[in-house]
Amino acid sequence: MQMNDQAKARLGGMMKTWDRRKKITSNLNRINSRIAVYSGKGGVGKTTIAVNLAVALAQLGNKVGLLDADIDCPNADKLMGVLQRPRYVDGVLHPAERAGVKTISMASVQENEEEAIIWRGPMITNAINQFLEMTEWGDLDFLVVDLPPGTSDSPLTIMQTLQLNGFVVVTTPQDLAVLDAKRSINMIKKMNIEILGVVENMAGDIFGKGGGERLAKDLDVAFLGRIELSKEFASFGADLAVLKHDKARKRYQAIAEGVISRLAEVTPAHEISTVPS
Ligand SMILES: Nc1ncnc2c1ncn2[C@@H]1O[C@H](COP(=O)(O)OP(=O)(O)OP(=O)(O)O)[C@@H](O)[C@H]1O
Ligand SMILES: [Mg+2]
**Does residue 201 line the site of ligand 1, with CB under 6 A?**
yes
Q: In what order do the strands lie in the sheet with 166-171?
A: 96-98, 101-105, 64-68, 140-146, 31-38, 166-171, 194-203, 223-228
CB contact at 8 A, 222 and 258: yes
Atom of ligand 1 nearest to the CA of 236: 31
**Percent of the chain with pLDDT strictly greater than 70:** 88
List CB contacts of 249: < 8 A, sequence separation 6 or more: 56, 59, 241, 242, 243
Cβ atoms of 146 and 64 closer than 8 Å? no
Q: At what angle do helices 46-59 and 246-266 cross, to 10 degrees?
A: 80
Within 10 A of 204 (CB to CB), how many other CB atoms are there?
A: 13
Dump pLDDT digits (tens) for 120-170.
Answer: 666 777 777 888 888 999 999 999 999 888 766 666 777 777 888 999 999
Which atom in ligand 1 lies closest to the alpha carbon of residue 202? 1
Which of 48, 240, 251 to mutate for ligand 1's pocket (most ligand atoms within 8 Å of CB)? 48
Identify whether the C-beta of residue 263 lies closer than 8 Å to the C-beta of residue 236: no
Could you tell me the distance, in angstroms and rounded to a whole number, from the CA of residue 49 to the centre of ligand 1? 8
Report the pLDDT value the prediction gives residue 132, as an integer from 0 to 100: 84
In whole angstroms, what is the distance from residue 130 CA to residue 249 CA? 33
Q: Which amino acid is at 252?
A: Y
Residue 35 φ/ψ, nearest 5 degrees:
-125, 140
- Tell me the average pLDDT of the chain: 87
**CA of residue 266 to ligand 2 center, whole Å:** 26
Query: How does DSSP classify residue 44?
Result: S
User: What pLDDT does 127 receive?
Assistant: 77
Q: Which atom of ligand 1 is nearest to the CA of 70?
A: 27
Per-residue confidence at 274, pLDDT binned at 50, 70, 90? very low
- DSSP, residue by residue, 152-210: SHHHHHHHHHTT-SEEEEEE-SSHHHHHHHHHHHHHHHHTT-EEEEEEEEEEBTTTBS-
CB 156 less than 6 A from any atom of ligand 1 = no
Residue type, 228: E
Q: Which ligand is nearest to the CA of 201?
A: 1
How far apart, in Å, do the first and last CA atoms of the chain sit? 53
CA angle, 231 as apex, 81 and 108 as ends, to 5°? Answer: 20
55: nearest Cα among 259, 252, 260, 262:
252
CATH code: domain 17-264 is 3.40.50.300
Q: Is the CB of 181 under 6 A from ligand 1?
A: no
pLDDT at position 110 is: 64
From the CB of 56, is ligand 1 less than 6 Å away? no
Q: What is the pLDDT of residues 170-182, one digit of tens each?
A: 999 998 889 988 9
Q: Whose CA is nearest to atom 2 of ligand 1?
A: 229
Cβ–ligand 1 contact at 234 (below 6 Å) = yes
Q: What is the pLDDT of residues 197-255, one digit of tens each?
A: 999 999 999 999 999 999 999 999 999 999 999 999 999 999 999 999 999 999 999 99
What number does the ligand 1 atom closest to the CA of 39 have?
Answer: 21
